[in-house]
Amino acid sequence: MKTVVYIDGFNLYFGAVKGTAHKWLNPVEAVRRHLLPQNVIVGTKYFTAKLNPRPHDPDQPLRQETHLRALRTLPALEIFYGFFLTKTVKMPLAHPRPGGPRQVKVIKTEEKGSDVNLGAQLVHDAHEHRFDCAVVVSGDSDLVMPVRIVKEDLGLPVGVLNPQQNPCMELKKFATFYKHLKRGRLADSQFPPTLADARGKFHKPSSW
């Protein structure tokens, strides 16, 4: 069954990868290990946003770019970029002091665009008959509508591989099949320590 995989990069990272020793992840291999034998991955679309350096971790963008470079060595994989929006907002204090302020200003950074980009690509590819089955790697309930359109209106199966620890009942309700990404399989789905591309050899970051 010709299958295209749609990966929400940050949902995958924060749901299953962060805090583990498996950040050098080959997500296509991780997905392949969760699929049935008749699923043949013919394309992968990876959705993310470029990180900005932080005072406490200035090398974060470099590590991300190295991982993105590793992803680009995979055949038939495309990367789509959203963006980060940073703004100052007022938020309530959890435990305000008596007589003190009940709200404080904080700097809030949000990744924007990945869910919209993923949903748009999923529906567009379904209309273009680019797959027999789609697999969405995300636990974001914002993706319910595109999953539902492809499954119910276009009659194509859409599986969900949820990297989050908590189930997403909305996605589970409309997906053709629904699985949780097993963290135990991440260790078996790592890139080799050294890879090569048109620019030459490069290596897994020494620290993360």
**Residues 2-89+101-203, CATH architecture:** 3-Layer(aba) Sandwich (3.40)
What share of the chain has pLDDT > 70, as a percent? Answer: 94
Contacts of 130 (CB under 8 A, 6+ apart): 4, 43
Q: Which of 58-62, 160-164, 191-195, 200-204 has the lowest mean pLDDT?
A: 58-62
Q: Which helix (H) or strand (E) holds 80?
A: strand 77-81
Q: Are the CB atoms for 46 and 80 separated by under 8 Å?
A: yes
List the chain domain ranges.
2-89+101-203
Tens digits of per-residue pLDDT, 10-41?
Answer: 999 999 999 999 999 999 999 999 998 889 99
Q: Please give the pLDDT value at position 124.
A: 98
Tens digits of per-residue pLDDT, 60-104?
Answer: 899 999 999 999 999 999 999 986 566 677 788 888 888 788 888
pLDDT of residue 8 exceeding 70, the answer is: yes
CA 195 vs CA 64, 192, 200: distances in Å: 15, 7, 8
Q: Are the CB atoms for 172 and 160 separated by under 8 Å?
A: yes
pLDDT of residue 132 exceeding 60, the answer is: yes
Name which of 36, 40, 18, 121 is nearest 78 in CA terms.
121
Exposure on the CB side of residue 181, measured as CA atoms within 13 A: 32
